[in-house]
Structure 1
Amino acid sequence: MPMSFNLRHLRAFISVAEAGSATRASEHLCRAQSAVTRSVHELESYFGVELFERKATGMLCNAFGSALLYRGRRAIHELEQGVAEVASKSADPQARARTRVPAALLSERRLAILVNLAKHGHMPTVAKLLGISQPAVSAGVNDLEGDLGVALFRRTSKGVVATEPGVALLFRVKRALMELRHVEAELGAIKGATEGKVVIGALPLGRTQILPNAILAVLSRHPLLRIETIEAPFDTLANRLRAGDIDFIFGALRPADYARDLKGEPLLNDSMSIVVRNGHPLGRRKNLSLQDLDGLSWVLANPHTPARRLFSQSFCLQGLTPPAPAVETSDLALLRGLLLRSDMATAISTRQLEFEIGNGTLQALDISLPSTTRVIGLIQRAESKPSPGASALMAAIRDVVAEIRRPKAPAPQDVLRPVGEAMVA
């Protein structure tokens, strides 16, 4: 679990923050004032900070309390949305009328059971992972299903599978846990230390040059940060972004109408090139046309990838038939090996083969591929607030891109020539 503080304490804290006193919060929650006060003290002890300014007129959140309140409200809201979505699928009128988060859902153990059982589909595996008995796993599921009034899992010959209500609840639970995962990082940032874990969905165009430089820069400033990258097709990363598994995606943006719940921040343009080994028969020819490429043996990205579609489109726009590749792969290591050992050609962003082109083992042919420009940028959930660590890494990415785009100084022999922008194609 990404957090280990009690969610019931969190709900009590939110009520105190909104009511302005433990007395009024206890009335709202129908709990003893001493229990509400104890919940607040437990949270303050866990985080090692005071969350309120305590005055005769009431309790007011300080900076630490405000940070926890923001993330806590968002987490509870996600759980409430999950309850509402599950209730809408129930045949029980009482369950459909439920709006509050039931007590069973405010249990760390039950949330851990829900997430891990949906992931692994095997109760003994979940029991071993969580260090509890298999009957405890089964009881946790039964408690959730009993309070929510719907079946969250069904048993199959291959294991346990989440039902439609279970999938809906899991989506909201994971988003709630993502908010809570950021709490300690938020409080640490107030203390002056940017820390925590940042998970990035890394698409190919940014992985070779921009992202490594940004990671090194941000770790030099914030050594307590921990960074994880996840490499997968865009649609997979987008779904994991929505579910709260990753903080942001970096790579080629999709059209603005791709999804309303995602927002893209364009940073720079990138175009595809034809790349071959140094010494290739076409390597010294200038002003090549697409017709000059006839007869080449190709290694291209897999069908249905954006890169392949753009490559084919560049031929179709000139009334030509796109070449059929001898090899289809999205593995950069295999692509590199084939190019270095043969006269095969590929269509790719030169950023992805930056080191080989830089050391002269590969080269880009003197030819343009029309209509292959893509926009590289950052993608976040539209309503999300990134963690301090994610914000720092995105800022570092922007700095690296700004350096790439900065006009290059003229060489001494070129002082009379106009200086253009750094090449981004």
Structure 2
Amino acid sequence: MDDEILRNIPAFMAVAEQKGVSRASEFLFKAPSALTRSIALLEETLGFTLFDRLPHGMLMNHFGEAVQERSRRILMELKIACEELGPICRPAKEEKHLSAFLLAGRKLQVFASIAEHQSLSEAGKQLALSRSGVSMSLSRMEEYLGIHLFERMAHGLIPNTAGEKLLIRAKRISAEIRHLKTELSALAGALKGTVIIGALPLCRTRILPKAISQLLITHPDIQVKTLESPYDELAKGLKSGDIDFIIGAVRGKAEQSEFQIEHLFMDQVSIFCRANHPLTQKNQIDLATLSNQQWILPRQDSPARQVLTKAFLQKGLTPPQPAIESGDLAILRYLLASTDLITAISPFQLFYEIKDQLVEALPIDLDNTQRSIGITSRKQSLPSPAVLEMMNEVKRVIRDEVHRSI
């Protein structure tokens, strides 16, 4: 999070709305020289001129308009943070005072870094500050608020309820600044920036890697980060702005109020075993035949495991208990190709093993085991041009390869 950007947003917004420094100075009760200096610092930090200086005032150019939109979103997150924290501060704080306090210095940046690392020392390393400097910043912040933001645990500093609320807002503000820099570069004709993707298992084998490789051919200055965790962890990152979107099997309606889903295609879970497995020699196979087999399966809350369980229950059979439970695709691939273990999985996750004839699908139709594959994003987010291009590349890969094979 760039503190120079945050610190100068109020001055920028006033000048943008009042269309000049003189009128903005009257609006903010600040000296014109101070506002002029703030605008100059913001432009220097971002690397772009944001206003056209005219005899009768200052008008935003297209770079300034991009900054204005992101600034509105940043100030909205800050307003919500103040509404959540203000009443519980001791004594309670008015929004304008609390907002000014949080914008000054590196408070949100230091706070978010402590929360991420759960350590004053590690936060100091990330921010190039001493441990005592980080500790002093946190102490001053908590003293002003009159509340604690962290629980001091044996294994580190863990955000408490108030800290968690502020952390979500601080991270979303950080994401807005990250997207702002990408937008300004795109307006200048160079698509740069960072895209952070929550990658669920189905798309990791072929769809997402191919989309990333194609994106980097046309936009080599984009940096792509993928995070591989269970869905619940990725959903937390999506909610806070740490993740731009999740690609993979979509979940139910639990997060529909916050998330939006773009369905891309329907996937069918199949049962696989190694080539030349004894089961491949049988003329007829049904689910009852597989009840006593050794299985390697993902966690119980995974979509593939759930559809397999549903298929067994619909036949009046007890769902299989795995000999090995693992969400690691590398482990599954090796064991599936080299042992008599069987699994239920999407064929997209075994693309190369199927292509090389190392594994094969058993001729069993799992009724009602289709699942939707799509992109999950936060409803109130405003994706940067780099994020949108990454999404479009994923869709192109699916259109060219997946739909052609369905």
The C-alpha deviation readout for 1:25-69, integer Å capped at 9, x for no partner, is 112222101110111122222333221123344322111001111
| Aligned counterpart, 1:7 | 6
Deviation at 1:150, TM superposition (A): 2.7
- CA positional deviation for 1:171: 1.3
The alpha carbon displacement at 1:395 in A equals 0.3
Indicate conservation of the 8 Å contact 1:197/1:226, yes or no. yes
Matched, 1:273 2:270: yes
1:404 aligned counterpart, secondary structure: helix
- Alignment partners' CA distance in 2, 1:320 and 1:373: 20
The 5 Å alignment of 1:226-375 reads 226-285=223-282, 288-375=285-372
* TM-score, with structure 1 as normaliser: 0.90
Look up the equivalent residue of 2:385 and give its one-letter code. P
Task: Map residues 43-192 of structure 1 onto 2, 5 A cutoff.
Answer: 43-92=42-91, 94-95=92-93, 97-192=94-189
Corresponding residue number in structure 2 for 1:210:
207
Q: Partner of 1:419 in structure 2?
A: none
Cα distance in 1 for residues equivalent to 2:184 and 2:116? 30
Query: Relative to structure 2, which stretch is displaced further, 156-165 or 173-182?
Result: 156-165
CA shift for structure 1 position 158 = 4.2
DSSP 3-state at the match of 1:283: helix
3-state DSSP of counterpart to 1:383: coil
**Within 5 A, what are the aligned runs for 1:342-421?**
342-407=339-404
Separation (CA, whole Å) in 2 of partners of 1:332 and 1:347 = 12
Q: 1:101 & 1:180 partners in 2: Cα distance?
A: 20
Q: Measure, in 2, the Cα distance between the counterparts of 1:291 and 1:90.
A: 62
Cross-structure match for 1:415 = none
Alignment CA distance shift 1:100-1:264 (3 Å)? farther
C-alpha contact (below 8 Å) 1:288/1:367 kept by paired residues: yes
Q: Counterpart amino acid of 1:134?
A: R
1:200-223: CA deviation from partner (whole Å, max 9, x where unpaired) = 000011111110111011111100
Q: In structure 1, how many angstroms separate the alpha carbons of the residues matched to 2:283 and 2:209?
A: 33
Give me the whole-angstrom Cα distance separating, in 1, the residues matched to 2:250 and 2:31. 52
CA contact (8 A) 1:203 1:233 kept: yes
- Which letter does structure 2 place at the counterpart of 1:166? G
Q: Distance between the aligned counterparts of 1:106 and 1:405, measured in 2?
A: 47
Structure 2 counterpart of 1:232, one-letter code? S
1:100 CA drift (Å): 5.0
1:272 and 1:369 in contact (8 A); partners too: yes
Q: Secondary structure at the match of 2:280?
A: coil
Q: Are the counterparts in 2 of residues 6 and 107 from structure 1 also a CA contact under 8 Å?
A: no
Q: How many angstroms does 1:176 deviate by?
A: 0.5
Aligned mate of 1:197, from 179, 186, 194:
194
* 1:401 Cα deviation after fit: 0.9
Instruction: Return the alpha-carbon distance in structure 1 between the equivalents of residues 337 and 400 of structure 2.
Output: 30
- Contact 2:201 2:329 survives alignment (8 Å): no
SS of equivalent to 1:143: helix
Gaps of 5+ in 1: 408-421
Q: 1:253 to 1:156 in 2, by over 3 A?
A: closer
Question: In the TM superposition, what is the alpha-carbon distance from 1:178 to its structure 2 partner?
Answer: 0.7
Q: CA RMSD, aligned part only?
A: 2.0
Q: Which stretch shifts more, 125-134 or 250-259?
A: 125-134
CA distance in 2: counterparts of 1:285 and 1:13, whole angstroms: 73
Q: Deviations over 1:356-409 (max 9, x none)?
A: 0111111111111112111111011001111111111000011111113555xx
**Matched residue of 1:275: which SS?**
strand
Deviations 1:199-246 (A, max 9, x none): 100001111111011101111110000101000111110111111111
Could you say which residue in structure 2 is the equivalent of 1:418?
none
Deviation of residue 75 (structure 1)? 1.2
Alpha-carbon distance in 1 for matches of 2:290, 2:121: 58
Q: Which moved more, 1:398-407 or 1:221-230?
A: 398-407
Task: Letter of the 2:11 partner, please give it.
Answer: A
Higher helix proportion: 2
Q: State the distance in 2 between where 1:63 and 1:261 align.
A: 30
Which amino acid is the alignment partner of residue 382 of structure 2? K
> Structure 1: how far apart are the matches of 2:254 and 2:119?
39
- The superposition leaves residues 268-291 of structure 1 with CA deviations (integer Å, 9 ceiling, x where unpaired) of 000111101111122255663223
If the length of structure 2 is used for normalisation, what is the TM-score? 0.94
- Give the 3 Å change call, closer, same or farther, for CA 125–381 of structure 1 in structure 2: same
Residue identity matched to 1:89? I
Shift of 1:154: 4.4
Rounded to whole Å, the distance in 2 between the matches of 1:291 and 1:347 is 15
The change in CA–CA distance for 1:328 and 1:125 in structure 2 (over 3 A counts) is: closer
Q: Which moved more, 1:108-117 or 1:261-270?
A: 108-117
